[in-house]
Chain A
Amino acid sequence: MRSRLALWIPLALFAFFAGLAAYMLTQPKQQFVESTMIGQPLPAFALDPAFSGLPGAAKADFTGKPKLLNIWASWCLPCIAEAPQLEALQAQGVEIIGIALRDRPEDVANFLGKYGNPYRRIGSDKISEVQLAIGSSGVPETFVIDAKGVIRYQHIGDIRAGDVPLLLEELEKAQ
Chain B
Amino acid sequence: MIAEIGLAALWLAAALAVLQMVSGAASLRAAQGEINPLAIYARPAAIVQAFLAVLAFVTLLYSFAVTDLSLKLVASNSHSMKPMLYKLTGTWGNHEGSMLLWVGVLAASGGLLAGFEKRLPERTMGATLAVQGFVALGFYAFLLFASNPFERLPVPAPEGNGLNPLLQDIGLAIHPPTLYAGYVGLSVAFSLAMGALMTREVNPAFARVMRPWVLGAWVLLTLGITAGSYWAYYELGWGGWWFWDPVENASLMPWLAATALMHSVSVLAARDALRTWTIMLGVLAFSMSMLGTFLVRSGVLTSVHAFAVDPERGAFILGLLGLYIGGAFTIFALRAGAVAEGKRFAVVSREGALVFNNVMLSAILAIVLLGTLYPLLTEAFDVRVSVGPPYFNPAGAIFAVPMLLVMAVGPLLRWKSDKPARLQFELALIAALVIGVIALVCFFGQFPLLPLLGLGLAAALAVAAFLPLKGRNLRRVPVATWGMVIAHFGIAVSLFGMACEGAFSQERLAAVAPGGTEQIGDFAFTLQSVTPVAGPNWTALEAQIAVSQNGGEPVILTPQARNFWSPPQSTSESALLTKWNGQLYAVIGNQAEDGRWQIRVWWKPFVTFIWYGGILIALGGVLAIAGRVRVDVKRRSAASKGAQRRADLEALGAADPVPAE
A24 within 8 A of B: yes
* Chain A 5-32 near chain B by CB (<8 Å), digits 1 or 0: 0011011001101101111110101000
Could you tell me if B299 and A10 are in contact, using CB atoms closer than 8 angstroms? Answer: no
Most B C-beta atoms less than 10 A away, residue of A4, A10, A18, A20:
A10
A10: chain B residues within 8 A (beta carbon): 280, 283-284, 329, 332-333
Q: Which of B55-63, B219-227, B317-325 contacts A (4 or more CB under 8 A)?
A: B317-325
Tell me which of B336, B373, B380 contacts A7 (CB under 8 A): B336
Most B C-beta atoms less than 10 A away, residue of A11, A15, A29:
A11
State the CA gap A72–B94 with chains docked (Å).
Answer: 34
Tell me which of B276, B284, B311, B330 contacts A25 (CB under 8 A): B311
* Chain B 328-343 near chain A by CB (<8 Å), digits 1 or 0: 0110110011000100
Most B C-beta atoms less than 10 A away, residue of A8, A23, A25:
A25
B102 within 8 A of A: no
Interface size class of B (residues with CB under 8 A): 20 to 34
Number of A-B contacts (CB under 8 A): 56
Could you tell me if B326 and A7 are in contact, using CB atoms closer than 8 angstroms? Answer: no
Could you tell me if B337 and A29 are in contact, using CB atoms closer than 8 angstroms? Answer: no
State the CA gap A173–B432 with chains docked (Å).
Answer: 72
B380 to chain A, nearest CB (A): 6
Most A C-beta atoms less than 10 A away, residue of B294, B321, B329:
B329
B284: chain A residues within 8 A (beta carbon): 10
B380: chain A residues within 8 A (beta carbon): 20, 23-24, 27
B648 within 8 A of A: no
Tell me which of A2, A11, A25 contacts B326 (CB under 8 A): A11
A14: chain B residues within 8 A (beta carbon): 287, 325-326, 329
Instruction: Name the residue on A nearest B339 (C-beta).
Output: A2
B141 to chain A, nearest CB (A): 18
Q: Could you tell me which residues of chain A, from 83 to 133, have a CB within 8 Å of some CB in chain B?
A: none
Could you tell me if B314 and A25 are in contact, using CB atoms closer than 8 angstroms? Answer: yes
Could you tell me if B318 and A25 are in contact, using CB atoms closer than 8 angstroms? Answer: yes
Given A24-B376, A25-B311, A29-B311, A18-B322 contact (CB < 8 Å): yes
B315 within 8 A of A: yes
B296 to chain A, nearest CB (A): 13
B137 to chain A, nearest CB (A): 20
Could you tell me if A25 and B300 are in contact, using CB atoms closer than 8 angstroms? Answer: yes
Given A8-B333, A18-B318, A25-B377 contact (CB < 8 Å): no
B632 within 8 A of A: no
State the CA gap A11–B284 with chains docked (Å).
Answer: 11
Given A7-B336, A10-B332, A21-B379 contact (CB < 8 Å): no
Tell me which of B315, B318, B332 contacts A11 (CB under 8 A): B332
Most A C-beta atoms less than 10 A away, residue of B311, B314, B333, B377:
B333
* Chain B 341-353 near chain A by CB (<8 Å), digits 1 or 0: 1000000000000
Could you tell me if A25 and B298 are in contact, using CB atoms closer than 8 angstroms? Answer: yes
State the CA gap A17–B377 with chains docked (Å).
Answer: 9
* Chain A 32-59 near chain B by CB (<8 Å), digits 1 or 0: 0000000000000000000000000000
Q: Could you tell me which residues of chain B, from 421 to 440, have a CB within 8 Å of some CB in chain A?
A: none
Given A8-B333, A29-B299, A21-B341 contact (CB < 8 Å): no
B307 to chain A, nearest CB (A): 14
B287: chain A residues within 8 A (beta carbon): 14
State the CA gap A59–B381 with chains docked (Å).
Answer: 35
Given A7-B332, A15-B326, A25-B298, A20-B311 contact (CB < 8 Å): no
Given A11-B326, A14-B325, A15-B326, A24-B300 contact (CB < 8 Å): yes
Could you tell me if B329 and A21 are in contact, using CB atoms closer than 8 angstroms? Answer: no
A21: chain B residues within 8 A (beta carbon): 294, 298, 300, 318, 376
For the complex of A and B, 6 pairs with smallest distance between CB atoms: A11-B329, A7-B333, A8-B333, A10-B329, A4-B337, A24-B300
**B contact set with A: CB distance below 8 Å:** 276, 280, 283-284, 287, 294, 298-300, 311, 314-315, 318, 321-322, 325-326, 329-330, 332-333, 336-337, 341, 373, 376-377, 379-380
Could you write out 27 A-B pairs with CB less than 8 Å apart?
Answer: A4-B337, A7-B336, A7-B337, A8-B333, A10-B280, A10-B329, A10-B332, A10-B333, A11-B329, A11-B332, A14-B329, A17-B373, A18-B318, A18-B321, A18-B322, A20-B373, A20-B376, A20-B380, A21-B318, A22-B315, A23-B380, A24-B300, A24-B380, A25-B311, A25-B314, A25-B315, A29-B299
**A contact set with B: CB distance below 8 Å:** 2, 4, 7-8, 10-11, 14-15, 17-18, 20-25, 27, 29
List 5 other contacts, CB 8 Å, given A25-B300, A25-B315: A11-B333, A21-B300, A21-B318, A24-B379, A25-B311
